[in-house]
Amino acid sequence: MNKAIIVGGGLSGLSAAIHLIKKNISPIIIEASPKTGGRASSYYDNDFSSHLDNGQHILMGCYFNTLDYLRIIGAEDNLIYQDNLHVDFVNAEGKDLPLDAGDLIYPLNTLRALLQYEAVPLHRRLHCAAFFVKCIMLYRGISPSEKTVSQWLEANGEGREIQKTLWDFLSIGALNTSPDKADAFLFRDMLRQIFLRGNAAQTIILPRYNLSKSFCEPAEKFILENGGEIRFGERLLSLQSDNGIVKSITTNKQTYSDFTSVLTALPPHAYLHVDGMPQDITASAEKVEYSSILTFHLKLTDNHVTKPFYGLIGSPLHWVFNHGGYITTVISNADEYLKSSEDDLYKMIKSELKMYLKISPEKIQGYKIIQEKKATFVPDSAQLKNRPKAITPLANLFLAGDWVQNGLPATIEGAILNGKNAAKLIS
């Protein structure tokens, strides 16, 4: 059996491993931390008496590669699926303004959701529905080429009002970047992935359990039961190559030479600390601009909110997720909030939760804050051109990870797809 070394045990590395196993190639995963999953993992918190995710993730039905990954490892039941698109948006007065597709036949249910979305005045809903048909379904309207998301939407008559109440949730949530910076072409393609691939593609999917239990532990079990290995606490230090081939790699623990291929699934900044890495890869990594995500887990004495998640219109807290004994708030594109003190952030969050969801500050027993300062790359036009390919100058070295070219933003789906794509290149 051929052997492949996978450097990085995040979802992209795990995806690569399971697809290599399907090709009868034995993978060894080298992971610097003591667990798999990377930015999509969990840890046990004694104060909460629960596993907490290092960041909350929403999936969608159009995450076909993610769903395939879960089917392969026998974990498709680890998700909660919607029958039809439904999002509970809430305004600053605490009014529930759902975006609800209902059970009409697709795609009429999508148009119904837009036309009945009361967060937007009726005349703007009519325009929004027309924009959706023209630019998303019929591929017409002003081209997004060389425009930001905001510029493209405004050029097509979607002003700031509708952007704040609808499109920002999609652009900021999925791209983790201000719509004033994010590339419009990527955004339009993302909308088409969501809304033009059937009713199930536009639905929301949530992990049933914590991220490690939902995505990582079943993958580890599959890999180990099928001849793969996972070695924790090993960090790649250098590559040794000759005549365009990686001959060996050195970690902080040992040197490997008994392999046919090496697949690296690292975050961009990690490549800057590996000796012998091809110069074009490190050059791309040096140019990456990052966007952050702030996650607050808040333990409650009495949780009266009933829906699984909420979108808060006009609030810096874009999403609130209900876990029963605790809730999780997410601030995407959070760079400006990193400058605030933890106390100021906590005060702001308590104020927003009281205003939108009527959660009294006295009911909050405690909180945990998680700062992902390098959560995703910024998907503006310059960064998209900077993304490397999976194929490298070294014939047996391949790249995965969500920053590698694939036409998607930095999402779970992009990471898993790139692991699969890199595995396809290995023979």
Within 10 angstroms of residue 355's Cβ, the number of other Cβ atoms is 16
Quote the CA–CA distance of 164 and 314 in Å, as a whole number.
Answer: 7
Model pLDDT for residues 12-40, shown as the tens digit of each residue: 999 999 999 999 999 999 999 999 999 99
Better pLDDT: 201 or 140 = 201
Torsion of CA 106, 107, 108, 114, to 10 degrees: 120
pTM: 0.96
The partner residues of 399 in beta bridges, in order of sequence, read 264
Which residue is it, tokens 């529930």? 96
Give the mean model confidence (pLDDT) for residues 383-393: 97
Residue 239 has which token pair? 């590559």
pLDDT digits (tens, 9 = 90+) for 110-162: 999 999 999 999 999 999 999 999 999 888 888 888 899 999 999 999 988 89
Q: What does the pLDDT average to over 384-397?
A: 98
Question: What's the pLDDT at 371?
Answer: 95
**Which residues, 6+ apart, have CB-to-CB distance to 44 below 8 Å?**
50, 51, 52
- Name 89's bridge partners: 97, 311
- Rounded Cα distance between 144 and 161, Å, is 20
At 320-349, the pLDDT tens digits run 999 999 999 999 999 999 999 999 999 999
Distances (CA, A) of 160 to 253, 336, 412: 54, 20, 29
Q: What does the alpha-carbon distance between residue 186 and residue 90 come to, in Å, rounded to a whole number? A: 28
What would the DSSP string read from start to end of 307-329?
A: SSEEEETTSS--EEEE-SSEEEE
Angle between helices 122-131 and 108-115 (to 10 degrees): 150
Say which residues have a Cβ less than 8 Å from residue 138's Cβ, sequence separation at least 6: none
Considering the chain, what percentage of its residues have pLDDT values greater than 70? 100
Q: Is 17 exposed, middle or buried (0-12, 13-18, 19+ CB in 10 A)?
A: buried
Determine the pLDDT at residue 189.
94
Q: Which two structure tokens, joined as six digits, stand for 32?
A: 């610097």
The residue whose two tokens read 């399907």 is 22
For residue 53, list its beta bridge partners.
Answer: 42
One DSSP character per residue, 2-68 reads EEEEEE--BHHHHHHHHHHHHTTEEEEEEESSSSSBTTS-EEEETTTTEEEESS---EETT-HHHHH
Mean pLDDT score, 256-260: 96
The angle at the Cα of 144, spanning 143 to 149, to the nearest 5 degrees, equals: 145
pLDDT value of position 144: 87
What is the per-residue pLDDT for 1? 61
Work out the number of other CB atoms within 10 angstroms of the CB of residue 233.
12
Kindly report, residue by residue over 43-75, the tens digit of the pLDDT: 999 999 999 999 998 899 999 999 999 999 999
158, 128 in Cβ contact below 8 A?
yes
Tell me the C-alpha distance between 387 and 332, whole Å.
22
- Give yes or no for residue 241 having a pLDDT over 70: yes
- Determine the average pLDDT of the residues in 262-268: 98
Residues 6+ apart with CB under 8 A from 130: none
User: pLDDT (tens digit, 9 = 90+) per residue, 170-196?
Assistant: 999 999 999 999 999 999 999 999 999
State the pLDDT confidence band at 236, using cuts at 50, 70 and 90: very high
CA atoms of 244 and 43, how far apart (whole Å): 41
Tokens 């997410």 map to which residue?
330
Residue 8: left (phi > 0), alpha (psi -120 to 50), or beta? left
Instruction: Give bridge partners of residue 238 from the DSSP assignment.
Output: 250, 275
Q: What is the DSSP letter of 120?
A: S
Q: Are 52 and 407 in contact (CB under 8 A)?
A: no
Quick check: bond before 27 cis, omega within 30? no
Share of the chain above pLDDT 90, in %: 95
Q: What is the mean pLDDT of the chain?
A: 96
CB atoms under 10 Å from CB of 152, counted, come to 25
Yes or no: say if 156 and 141 are a contact pair by the CB < 8 Å rule: yes
- Structural contact between residues 398 and 261, judged by C-beta atoms closer than 8 angstroms: yes
